[in-house]
Amino acid sequence: MKKVSLGDRLEQIINELNSENFIKGKGLGNEIEYYIFDYDPKEEIMVREYVKYIIKEFNKVNSNRKIIEFDLYKMLIGFLKQEGDFEQIINLENREGKEYILEAVGTFVNSDIYCKIIKERSEDFDIIFLTGIGKVYPFMRSHNILNNLQQYLKKKPLVMFYPGEYSGQDLKLFKKFKDENYYRAFPLV
């Protein structure tokens, strides 16, 4: 069986997002409308650029579907800066090392805070994109966000762009680190 290129898979995204089945969640058997687009981490830049293109195309004035992107890494940095701790964290990392920072930053990784912000800011949008999954690792794990978002988002499609592999049950970040099982999402293409 011929392997489909990343470029071909990326091009399929727009058709999928435009389909009525996607926006209405048809064929999901009353499951939550979570989709995962997995890709080789080496292709991160290509995926980032294409995500920007998709958002620009959909958010044109005459588009009937609007997309909002939440980059989990940028959100974490934003929280640290908002609390006035960003520079302190940089200095601590230089003095104490990365392991110390992992523990210190963990206090800012309350997934409920992220979920509430995602819910509030996405109200006027039709589709949610989650990005920055690889950049925010190991401070945040994707399955934690997906599990916690279930209580906040009802009937709004969410697409997580995942630098790794999704088997339909297992997430494997960077094709290396096995995440907890997550079986409630569907492959986007």
**182 pLDDT tier (thresholds 50, 70, 90):** low
Residue 153 pLDDT more than 90? no
What are residue 177's DSSP bridge partners?
173
Residue 21 pLDDT more than 90? no
Residue 108 pLDDT more than 70? no
How does pLDDT run across 39-49, given as a tens digit for each residue?
Answer: 999 999 999 99
Interatomic CA distance for residues 126 and 115, integer angstroms: 16
Mean pLDDT of 5-11: 93
Judge whether 151 and 180 are in contact, CB under 8 Å. Answer: no
Mean pLDDT of 142-149: 84
Nearest to 65 by CA among 24, 11, 18, 26: 18
